[in-house]
Amino acid sequence: MYTPGASGSDDRRAWRRSLRLLLEDPDILLIVATPQSRTRPPRLASLSPMTQEHPILDANRRFADGFDQGALPVRPARQLVIVTCMDSRIDTFRALGLELGDAHVIRNAGGRASDDVIRSLIISTTLLGTREVLVVHHTDCGLMGRSEEELRALVAGERGSDTSDLEFLSFADHQTALRADVEKIRASPHLAPDLLVSGYLYDVHSGRLSERVPAGSSS
């Protein structure tokens, strides 16, 4: 049998001869396989039922089987909000000794006080009774030490898109960024003047938290 892709002109000649014979034979149905387009989504109908399901659903079934905290109130028991980074190494609740139902956690790249964080804080404090905000940045953050220009150029190179209307909120050092975030939250006219806001740095290698901006309010 001839294998396409083998080297040598004799092989190539043999391949062409074989193909011509196949094409001329009326009894042979020739099926030509072409590479799948990279952009074409997988045809789910051809997958087995098991492979159509995301593995988190199986993990969730085991979780739900033992779940017994469905009666918790919507208001956080500790009247606390944590603003922190999306970094996968931060287990916010375990690292801060919190239980389910204790606090709101608002996460984004860098744990920065973006306008959308302010939006969530307004809802958290006004509707759901929270009275204290902890801004928690961390060591080895992917957003630190990168400039806005660098990030814009990165996206332009990858996607060819213009992100000049976006602010990535990158930063050069933790102390300056933490202070800016704490002050932005304290200065918001939409948040209570007696809202306590503080800044912390979490070390992803040691798991240790250290205070960097002491708790205070704008009042």
Nearer to Zn ion by Cβ, of 76 and 111: the residue is: 111
Report in angstroms how near the CB of residue 183 gets to Zn ion at its nearest.
20
Question: Which 73-92 residues touch Zn ion, going by CB under 5 A?
Answer: 85, 87
Report in angstroms how near the CB of residue 40 gets to Zn ion at its nearest.
35
Classify residue 107 by its DSSP letter. E
* 169 lies in the binding site for Zn ion (CB under 5 A): no
* 191 lies in the binding site for Zn ion (CB under 5 A): no
Nearer to Zn ion by Cβ, of 81 and 136: the residue is: 136
How far apart CA 174 and CA 201 sit, in angstroms, is 8
**CA 193 to the chain's CA centroid:** 32
What are the E-state strand segments in the chain? 80-85, 103-108, 132-138, 196-202, 209-216
* 141 lies in the binding site for Zn ion (CB under 5 A): yes
Nearer to Zn ion by Cβ, of 121 and 141: the residue is: 141
Nearer to Zn ion by Cβ, of 130 and 170: the residue is: 170
- Do residues 129 and 75 lie in contact, with contact meaning Cβ atoms separated by under 8 Å? yes
How far apart CA 76 and CA 130 sit, in angstroms, is 7
